[in-house]
């Protein structure tokens, strides 16, 4: 299949041509050049201009063509931590790029869990203090979307310092940190990831059109209507803003509702967390909530904190009548709404908490997606706020539908590939890192074909069918299941991801079913995510061929009387369980009615049985969104979910 007949070979359009020699944003101070591969350097100049590039005792000369594009190629170089300069000389101008290293470049992509930044992870303060690695560099690609393949690079290089690392992709940073210091090889990360983006937005349109599982014609931005992301978002936001509830501001008399002595005896009650609409308040508008929490004498007048978990959509928080702050979603729903309480506000005994929440459209309130305990804290005292709050409506209207629904641009097929991947296909890579799936978890059968198509198309565009592609399997998430027959959608998606590991060469999968958070779709342990991705690279690229790379993956199951013997790949030196008993197995007879099962380790296998199933036929493990499971291999890497009742 012919990919992208419209792709430009040389990466910059004639519209960008100027008389002086110019380079794309990708070629800049602090960059990393891919080791052990030919080094293409390209840019623009006035047609017919002779351009000379000098780097690392090499010189190459080229001439810009009729459209103003030029390109030269330097010979491959070994890895080097020595900062070097590159000069690019045209007819009247010389560009000097400084502090360039030669190492490995990894393209990191996906949705919000790849975009999640270092300052948002567990132990972020210490991680950032330690983030001083001169041979780790990040090129952050700017958010973009386009209906046609673009060639202009948009982004900038940053060296890893405590200040710069704050906004690095956490998963990619912890991957790089496992490699660069230990193997003394510079690591460059191209971070091209977008929260909420669907997998199809990262796949070339030609590939999608050839996939019968996608509806045809494919939805896309219409260039005549939306020439770029900025224009599209302007139209989309106007549509949104025209339809949402507009908060007119606090009514003067309602300011009394925040005060401790206000009489709220006639207010109704609501259990939280929940959307106000889920609790029967079917409006777009503003609702006040009130609750009290007792503190001991030693907290009086001291500094404290109010932790409200996740509040949607706009909120103002008060303690004892004093406003603490105002927050809105701004697209970061997973950041808890925590407030510092200044000295002089808290008192002994009952403290009044009031929260004014405005729901502009859809769901809002003390609303999951990721509920955590609501607390009032002072020093060592952490008081859980009540589950039942008083509430009163300040103002509102009946919910309205938007007149013109426009799709989330982050799911538009090919859109992110065109703007955020295509400009970099001329730059050699060591491989790819991928963390995505939440936006596709409801379309597993489609993903079975889509994900391999993405991998193969990227490799083809980089002219290397062997480029490593390492990805993260979705973690545990949501509430624990009670019945063995429950069937989590994420388990199906994990199965789809495992199919890609089995069927697409040179791929690696990080199993993370043990490090998710039931109440947070963006789990904060990105350290282990990066480590587990790095295990594959360390084995495949950096020379440690004997290192364990993966958790247990189902191999086969054999019925032995009233028991089932399960065997695994990646067992290494054996299986282990840190608890008294193995959890997560279920078995069923021909009727497929699963029951929880006993399990014990037998060498490199697990024997599974249940007294009520005398003729077992099928077995499952960790088959749920958020399973209770604890089986590991000798390297302490978890077993992935599986089923035999397909």
User: Which of 231-235, 248-252, 444-448 is the least confident region?
Assistant: 231-235
* pLDDT computed for residue 515 by the predictor: 98
Split at pLDDT 50, 70, 90, the class of 278 is confident
pLDDT at 333 over 80: no
Mean pLDDT to the nearest integer, 585-589: 97
Whole-angstrom distance, CA of residue 24 vs CA of residue 635: 44
pLDDT at 4 over 60: no
Give ∠ CA 497-146-446 in degrees, rounded to 5.
Answer: 25
Per-residue pLDDT tens over the stretch 44-96: 999 999 999 999 999 999 999 999 999 999 999 999 999 999 999 999 899 99
Structural domain boundaries in the chain = 252-397, 553-643
In the three-class reduction of DSSP (H, G, I as helix; E, B as strand; rest coil), residue 448 is classed as helix
pLDDT at 588 over 90: yes
Burial of 595 (0-12, 13-18, 19+ CB in 10 A): middle
pLDDT at 20 over 90: no
In the three-class reduction of DSSP (H, G, I as helix; E, B as strand; rest coil), residue 262 is classed as coil
Per-residue pLDDT tens over the stretch 612-634: 999 999 999 999 999 999 999 99
The tokens for 418 are 């065109």
Split at pLDDT 50, 70, 90, the class of 604 is very high
* Contacts by residues 50-54 (CB-CB < 8 Å, ≥ 24 positions apart): 50/90, 50/91, 51/21, 51/88, 51/89, 51/90, 52/87, 52/88, 52/89, 53/86, 53/87, 53/88, 53/89, 54/86, 54/87, 54/89
* pLDDT computed for residue 402 by the predictor: 65
Split at pLDDT 50, 70, 90, the class of 6 is very low
Split at pLDDT 50, 70, 90, the class of 221 is low
Pairing between β-strand 94-110 and β-strand 187-193 as defined by DSSP bridges: parallel
* pLDDT computed for residue 387 by the predictor: 92
Mean pLDDT to the nearest integer, 33-46: 98
Split at pLDDT 50, 70, 90, the class of 330 is low
The tokens for 614 are 């005398």
Per-residue pLDDT tens over the stretch 342-355: 999 999 999 999 99
Split at pLDDT 50, 70, 90, the class of 334 is low
Return the percentage of the chain with pLDDT > 70, whole number. 91
For residues 364 and 138, the model is more confident at 138
Q: Give the list of residues 6+ apart from residue 240 with CB closer than 8 angstroms, or none.
A: 361, 402
Per-residue pLDDT tens over the stretch 400-410: 776 556 666 77
| Segments in 75-216 forming alpha helices (H) | 112-115, 124-129, 170-183, 205-209
- Cβ proximity of 258 and 318 under 8 Å: yes
The model's pTM: 0.80
The tokens for 260 are 């401790």
Split at pLDDT 50, 70, 90, the class of 238 is confident
In the three-class reduction of DSSP (H, G, I as helix; E, B as strand; rest coil), residue 63 is classed as strand
- Cβ proximity of 530 and 174 under 8 Å: yes
* pLDDT computed for residue 406 by the predictor: 64
Shortest CA distance to 439 belongs to which of 109, 107, 112, 108? Answer: 112
User: Which of 187-191, 286-290, 380-384, 430-434 is the least confident region?
Assistant: 380-384
Shortest CA distance to 134 belongs to which of 103, 169, 94? Answer: 103
Distances (CA, A) of 124 to 171, 198, 315, 455, 567: 13, 28, 26, 32, 39
User: Which of 221-225, 316-320, 465-469 is the least confident region?
Assistant: 221-225
- Cβ proximity of 75 and 59 under 8 Å: no
pLDDT at 505 over 90: yes
* pLDDT computed for residue 368 by the predictor: 58
Split at pLDDT 50, 70, 90, the class of 254 is very high
- Cβ proximity of 317 and 325 under 8 Å: yes
Q: Give the list of residues 6+ apart from residue 224 with CB closer than 8 angstroms, or none.
A: none
Mean pLDDT over the full length of the chain: 91
- Cβ proximity of 356 and 248 under 8 Å: no
Distances (CA, A) of 376 to 112, 270, 291, 316, 334: 30, 19, 11, 16, 20
Q: How far is CA 350 from the centre of its chain?
A: 41
Mean pLDDT to the nearest integer, 470-479: 95
Pairing between β-strand 469-472 and β-strand 80-89 as defined by DSSP bridges: unpaired
Q: Can you list the positions of beta strands (E) in 243-387?
A: 268-271, 284-295, 304-307, 314-319, 322-328, 338-341, 349-359, 375-378, 381-384
Q: Which residues pair with 96 in a beta bridge?
A: 87
**What's the order of all strands across the beta sheet hosting 349-359?**
268-271, 388-397, 284-295, 349-359, 314-319, 322-328
* pLDDT computed for residue 230 by the predictor: 67
Per-residue pLDDT tens over the stretch 134-173: 999 999 999 988 888 999 999 999 999 999 999 999 999 9
* pLDDT computed for residue 58 by the predictor: 98
* pLDDT computed for residue 274 by the predictor: 85
Return the percentage of the chain with pLDDT > 90, whole number. 77
Whole-angstrom distance, CA of residue 552 vs CA of residue 599: 15
CATH superfamily for domain 252-397: Galactose-binding domain-like (2.60.120.260)
Whole-angstrom distance, CA of residue 528 vs CA of residue 511: 10
Split at pLDDT 50, 70, 90, the class of 5 is very low
Shortest CA distance to 83 belongs to which of 29, 158, 160? Answer: 29
The tokens for 538 are 């360390």
Distances (CA, A) of 90 to 12, 56, 64: 17, 19, 10
pLDDT at 605 over 50: yes
Mean pLDDT to the nearest integer, 259-283: 93
């Amino acid at each position: 299949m012919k990919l992208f007949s419209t792709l430009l070979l040389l990466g910059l359009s004639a519209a960008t041509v100027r008389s002086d020699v110019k380079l794309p944003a990708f070629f800049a101070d602090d960059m990393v050049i891919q080791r052990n591969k030919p080094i293409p350097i390209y840019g623009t100049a006035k047609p017919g201009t002779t351009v000379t590039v000098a780097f690392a005792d090499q010189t190459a000369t080229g001439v810009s063509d009729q459209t103003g594009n030029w390109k030269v190629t330097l010979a491959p170089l070994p890895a080097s931590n020595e900062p070097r300069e590159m000069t690019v000389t045209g007819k009247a101008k010389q560009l000097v790029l400084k502090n360039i290293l030669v190492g490995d470049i990894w393209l990191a992509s996906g949705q919000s869990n790849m975009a999640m930044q270092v300052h948002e992870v567990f132990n972020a303060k210490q991680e950032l203090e330690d983030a001083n690695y001169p041979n780790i560099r990040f090129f952050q690609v700017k958010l973009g979307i386009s209906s046609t393949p673009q060639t202009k690079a948009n982004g900038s290089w940053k060296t890893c310092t405590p200040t710069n690392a704050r906004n690095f992709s956490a998963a990619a940073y912890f991957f790089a940190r496992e490699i660069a210091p230990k193997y003394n090889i510079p690591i460059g990360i191209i971070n091209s990831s977008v929260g909420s983006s669907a997998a199809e937005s990262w796949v070339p349109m030609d590939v999608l059109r050839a996939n019968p599982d996608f509806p045809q014609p494919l939805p896309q931005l219409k260039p005549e209507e939306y020439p770029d992301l900025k224009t599209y978002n302007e139209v989309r936001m106007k549509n949104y803003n025209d339809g949402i509830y507009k908060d007119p501001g606090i009514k003067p008399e309602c300011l009394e509702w925040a005060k401790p002595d206000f009489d709220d005896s006639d207010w109704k009650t609501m259990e939280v967390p929940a959307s106000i609409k889920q609790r029967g308040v079917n409006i777009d508008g503003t609702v006040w909530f009130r609750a009290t929490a007792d503190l001991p004498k030693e907290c009086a007048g001291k500094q404290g904190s109010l932790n409200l978990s996740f509040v949607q959509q706009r909120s103002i928080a008060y303690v004892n009548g004093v406003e603490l702050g105002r927050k809105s979603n701004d697209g970061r729903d997973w950041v808890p709404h925590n407030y510092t309480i200044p000295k002089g506000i808290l008192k002994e005994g009952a403290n009044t908490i009031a929260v004014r929440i405005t729901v502009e459209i859809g769901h809002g309130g003390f609303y999951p997606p990721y509920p955590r305990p609501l607390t009032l804290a002072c020093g060592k005292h952490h008081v859980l706020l009540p589950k039942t709050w008083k509430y009163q409506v300040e103002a509102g209207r009946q919910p309205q539908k938007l007149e013109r629904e426009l799709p989330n641009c982050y799911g538009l097929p090919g859109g992110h590939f065109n703007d955020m991947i295509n400009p970099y296909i001329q730059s050699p890579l060591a491989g790819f890192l991928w963390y995505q799936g939440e936006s596709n978890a409801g379309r597993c059968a489609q993903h079975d074909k889509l994900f391999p198509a993405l991998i193969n198309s990227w490799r083809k565009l980089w002219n290397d069918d062997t480029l490593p592609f390492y990805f993260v399997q979705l973690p545990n998430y949501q509430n624990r299941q009670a019945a063995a027959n429950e069937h989590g959608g994420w388990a199906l998606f994990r199965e789809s991801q495992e199919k890609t590991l089995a069927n697409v060469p040179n791929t690696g999968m990080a199993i993370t079913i043990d490090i998710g958070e039931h109440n947070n779709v963006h789990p904060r342990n990105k350290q282990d995510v990066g480590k587990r991705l790095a295990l594959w690279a360390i084995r495949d690229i950096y020379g440690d061929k004997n290192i364990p790379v993966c958790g247990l993956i189902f191999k086969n199951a054999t019925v032995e009387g009233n028991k089932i013997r399960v065997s695994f790949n990646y067992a290494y030196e054996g299986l282990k369980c840190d608890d008294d008993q193995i959890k997560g197995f279920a078995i069923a007879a021909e009727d497929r009615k699963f029951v929880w099962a006993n399990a014990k380790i037998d060498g490199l296998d697990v024997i599974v049985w249940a007294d009520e199933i005398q003729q077992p036929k099928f077995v499952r493990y960790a088959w749920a969104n958020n399973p209770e499971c604890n089986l590991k291999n000798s390297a302490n890497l978890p077993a992935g979910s599986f089923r035999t009742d397909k």
